[in-house]
Amino acid sequence: MTTLTRADWEQRARDLKIEGRAFLNGEYTDAVSGETFECISPVDGRLLGKIASCDAADADRAVENARATFNSGVWSRLAPTKRKATMIRFASLLKQHAEELALLETLDMGKPISDSLYIDVPGAAQALSWSGEAIDKIYDEVAATPHDQLGLVTREPVGVVGAIVPWNFPLMMACWKLGPALSTGNSVILKPSEKSPLTAIRIAALAIEAGIPKGVLNVLPGYGHTVGKALGLHNDVDTLVFTGSTKIAKQLMVYAGESNMKRVWLEAGGKSPNIVFADAPDLQAAAESAASAIAFNQGEVCTAGSRLLVERSIKDKFLPMVIEALKAWRPGNPLDPATNVGALVDTQQMNTVLSYIESGHSDGAKLVAGGKRILQETGGTYVEPTIFDGVSNAMKIAQEEIFGPVLSVIAFDSAEEAIQIANDTPYGLAAAVWTQDISKAHLTAKALRAGSVWVNQYDGGDMTAPFGGFKQSGNGRDKSLHAFDKYTELKATWIKL
């Protein structure tokens, strides 16, 4: 744990200079329109600063610039070993600035400072260095051609990448894209969420310090319906990579169809089932995991274990264990290093979460923990981790992504029924299964329509395995070598010998 106390972080927060301008061609710059929007901290409702409100004019400038930089070859044709070294320096700079970046992240979107410092910043740096490390170890292919032909199968960078990211893990989601996008030689225009632009703006300068040429990484803060839409519809953006809601993911596919058929890769929402069979090897561990799966990051996690499916024969024993485990997750001041649940990102998101709690009540589910806004006197947006029992999978709280700390508990009687309920959602991002029967574990994992399945744990994984969704949770994968598919075009070159 950090040696900095809450008072130290609060002092640093007061001293912090917030950069709110866009980053274009290696320099901070105002939006073309000169417009700004306010960045409000959910920690206490304080104004953090004014942020450049970019729109289509900024997108045009950035794309033109990114294209010219790409065509110049200054980065796109640099030897992979050199790009590797630069990406590793970029990652090191994130780590050197870990405390500053963690503070920006926490003030901007409300997550606990210990999470920002020990999960988000290291995870972001790891995404940059892992992709950089890989880039000079990937080989292209020679096809199995006839004797008088040589067939080369090579990968090329796609060109100009528009990366649109959400607010729940602002820096980490950005770096899941930047790692492979930059390592493969592309020029990138990063659009952070209007709810959490600060770390994206800050790391643009660190990229220059690392030696990434100007024009390769540009950052355009602003709203989705202005600058986000402009990137989506732009005829000279080659690829859009996105993390965010399923609703906006679908919209980006429309933009691509209406413009230049740019490639669109989507990491979208989830409503993940956490299935606990009666023969789970360790019910205490399962209960603690079920609690952290809904309370970590205030439940603002695409893979949140928001549906807890429990075999009916153990439900009366198991549910009190989950309720007890959830008591360890209490919202508190995010700048206190001991806090493990912070503020929801803003008032709008808090009201959304509270309205889902209302809908749980009115649909007849039984509230067994939490359910209220708290710490109102701080000026921040805090909601207690909440559990509803007696939920049917047809209820709104079981079908829709809440993106807050609200857990729905659903009983089942057989493995078949558990799988049917688990898959009965438009989403397919992640799932977990708890059992000590190895066949049941494998058969259930195979039957689950989800991009990640965890057995006897919740939320495992690192850069080595792909991450992404089935169904309306998206397409393509972040992390691992599979992520490189998004950022490269495959070319076949036939040489007559």
Question: What's the min distance (Å) between Cβ of 263 and ligand NAD?
Answer: 15
Per CB under 6 A, 332 contacts ligand NAD: no
The verdict on 167 binding ligand NAD (CB under 6 A) reads yes
CB of 229 to ligand NAD, least distance (A): 4
- Nearest to residue 387, comparing CAs of 440, 468, 324? 324
Regarding 277 and contact with ligand NAD (CB under 6 A), the answer is: no
Q: Residue by residue, what is the 3-state secondary structure of the chain?
A: CCCCCHHHHHHHHHHCCCCCCEEECCEEECCCCCCEEEEECCCCCCEEEEEECCCHHHHHHHHHHHHHHHHHCCCCCCCHHHHHHHHHHHHHHHHHCHHHHHHHHHHHHCCCHHHHHHHHHHHHHHHHHHHHHHHCCCCCEECCCCCCEEEEEEEEECCEEEEECCCCCHHHHHHHHHHHHHHCCCEEEEECCCCCCHHHHHHHHHHHHHCCCCCCEEECCCCHHHHHHHHHHCCCCCEEEEECCHHHHHHHHHHHHHCCCCEEEEECCCCCEEEECCCCCCHHHHHHHHHHHHHHHHHCCCCCCCEEEEEHHHHHHHHHHHHHHHCCCCECCCCCCCCCECCCCCHHHHHHHHHHHHHHHHCCCEEEECCCEECHHHCCCEECCEEEECCCCCCHHHHCCCCCCEEEEEEECCHHHHHHHHHCCCCCCEEEEECCCHHHHHHHHHHCCCCEEEECCCCCCCCCCCECCCHHHECCCECCHHHHHHHEEEEEEEEEC
Segment lying near ligand NAD (by CB under 6 A), choices 69-77, 220-228, 330-338, 414-422:
220-228
User: What contacts 270, CB < 8 A, 6 or more positions away?
Assistant: 302, 303, 304, 306, 401, 427, 428, 429, 430, 469, 473
Query: Closer CB to ligand NAD, residue 243 or residue 340?
Result: 243
**Within its chain, how far is the Cα of 209 from the centroid?**
25
- Do residues 375 and 345 lie in contact, with contact meaning Cβ atoms separated by under 8 Å? no
Burial class (CB in 10 A: 0-12, 13-18, 19+), 327: exposed
Q: For ligand NAD, which residue of 194, 288, 311, 389 counts as binding (CB under 6 A)?
A: 194
286 is a site residue for ligand NAD (CB under 6 A):
no
Q: Is 302 a catalytic residue?
A: yes
Give the interface size with ligand NAD as a residue count (CB under 6 A).
31
**Site track for ligand NAD across 34-73, x = CB under 6 A:** ----------------------------------------
Kindly identify the residues of this chain, within the stretch 392-411, that bind ligand NAD according to CB under 6 A.
401, 403
217 near ligand NAD (CB under 6 A): no
Residue 244 engages ligand NAD in binding (rule: CB under 6 A): yes
Q: Work out how close the CB of 315 gets to ligand NAD at its nearest, in angstroms, rounded to a whole number.
A: 27
Point out which span in 101-109, 227-235, 369-377, 404-412 binds ligand NAD (CB under 6 A).
227-235
Query: Contact between 385 and ligand NAD (CB under 6 A)?
Result: no
Tokens for 162, please give them.
């528009």
Q: Which is nearer to ligand NAD, 329 or 467 (CB)?
A: 467
Determine if 245 is a binding residue for ligand NAD (CB under 6 A): yes
Which residue is catalytic, options 105, 194, 267, 288?
267
Q: Which of 113, 121, 164, 368 binds ligand NAD (CB under 6 A)?
A: 164
| Residue 346 touches ligand NAD, criterion: CB under 6 A | no
Q: Return the residue of 13, 128, 175, 429 that touches ligand NAD, per CB under 6 A.
A: 429
**Applying CB under 6 A, which of residues 61, 89, 177, 191 lies at the interface with ligand NAD?**
191
- The distance of closest approach from Cβ of residue 473 to ligand NAD in the complex, given in angstroms and rounded to an integer, is 6
Which of the residues 105, 302, 311, 384 is marked catalytic? 302
Nearer to ligand NAD by Cβ, of 443 and 481: the residue is: 481
Of 77, 82, 225, 372, the residue at the interface with ligand NAD (CB under 6 A) is 225
Q: Does the protein bind ligand NAD through residue 232 (CB under 6 A)?
A: yes
Check residue 305 for interaction with ligand NAD (CB under 6 A).
no
- Interface residues for ligand NAD in 254-273 (CB under 6 A)? 267-270
Residue 267 is among the residues annotated as catalytic for this protein: yes
- Figure out which of the listed residues 380, 469, 471, 480 binds ligand NAD, where binding follows CB under 6 A: 469
Report the residue number, 276 or 429, with the smaller CB distance to ligand NAD: 429
Piece of 222-230, 290-298, 385-393, 409-417 that binds ligand NAD (CB under 6 A): 222-230
Active site residues: 267, 302
Interface ranges with ligand NAD (CB under 6 A): 164-168, 173, 191, 193-194, 223-225, 228-229, 232, 243-245, 248, 251, 267-270, 302, 401, 403, 429, 469, 473-474
